[in-house]
Amino acid sequence: MALDNTWFSEPFESEGSAFSLKITKKLHEEQSPFQKIEVYETTHWGRLLVLDGAVMLTQRDNFTYHEMMAHPVLFTHPNPRDVLIIGGGDCGMLKEVLKHQSVRRAVQVDIDERVTRVSEQFFPELVESNGDPRAELLFDDGVAYVKNTAPGSFDVIIIDSTDPIGPAAGLFGAEFMKDAYKLLRDDGLIVQQSESPILHIDSILKELYGVMRGAGFAKVATLSFPVVGYPSGWWSATMASKGADLTKFREQDSANKPFQTSYYNAAVHRGALAAPEFCKKLFTDQ
């Protein structure tokens, strides 16, 4: 919601808190078949993308989320070639994935084409890899795509979803995770955005661990990192494997990466795997 045309605020009623950004104008508003899409110009954070009243990204800080969802899982896999992104309509995740030279195919499946088209208009820096010949953009139901695609088709699956409500609810479900398990090759990895450790450890994170293990994944590990505009400012990504140790990654390749990042590096990767005391029982229960 916008307050007196000066501030955009997203209240978190269940936590008694809110996040606000000072805005100068609204650049775009539309109701797609799936959600309300808004774009604002802010005074200090660049452009702001909002879906159904929730902050999705700002130009100033989106790199922390996109980099930490993409690079840790890709450097943990021994040789990621075929990558599936579910969600991610702003295309920032696709841009990070395609920085990896080993990737020969990156399929992005987002149900709402309008998010991508709006991003092309207002966030050109996020969509600059959309023309890469390795990229395939599909506007479809991600749950159905995973169910109907041949088993063993992908090395890595990245679930870049919104909160587990509305169109994204199925992406946190048991049946979807079982289908994702089948879609991965034997050394395949999946990563799911898993909300805030401090707000959601006893709900979303605990349930996600159970869903991943119930689907057959032997190892589960969570990385935490800052995202200023998300509830609490502290976010997480949870990885799962069919057996590979998720605390080990290609550190030398990470340290010598041939591309630029703004947040991710090998030391950050190692540090993000460290579990705070109150998270240890869940995060380190391999």
Residue 5's contacts (CB-CB under 8 Å, 6 or more residues apart) are 23
Question: Could you please report the per-residue DSSP string of 243-261?
Answer: S--TT---HHHHHT-SS--
Catalytic residue numbers read 160
Structure tokens at 186: 């034997």
Is the CB of residue 97 less than 8 Å from the CB of residue 82? Answer: no
CA-nearest of 111, 2, 113 to 48 is 2
HSE-CB of 101 using CA atoms within 13 angstroms: 6
Give helix then strand counts, H and E, for the chain.
10, 13
SS3 category, 229 = coil
